[in-house]
Amino acid sequence: MEKLHFKYQATQPIDHPVHIGVVASGDLEVIMKPTDKKRVRAEYCDRQRRF
């Protein structure tokens, strides 16, 4: 399993939930939760077995 962690400065707060991507499509899916913090933390976990 591969885990990637990213931290960014936010330019504006997230005031409502946001969903980007298609559930169970095999592509990347992003879910953002409301926050008033000035930073963004992104975590990526890849459970796909590589051949």
* pLDDT band of 2, cuts 50, 70, 90: confident
- What tens digit of pLDDT does each residue of 7-43 get? 989 888 888 888 887 766 667 777 888 888 888 888 8
Q: Give the domain extent around 16.
A: 2-46
Please state the separation of Cα 44 from the chain's center in Å: 7
Q: Residue 16: helix, strand or coil by DSSP? A: coil
Does the residue 29 lie in any domain?
yes
CA pair distance 24, 20, nearest whole angstrom: 12
CA pair distance 38, 21, nearest whole angstrom: 24
Does the residue 26 lie in any domain?
yes
Does the residue 51 lie in any domain?
no
For the cut 70, the answer to whether the pLDDT of residue 50 exceeds it is: no
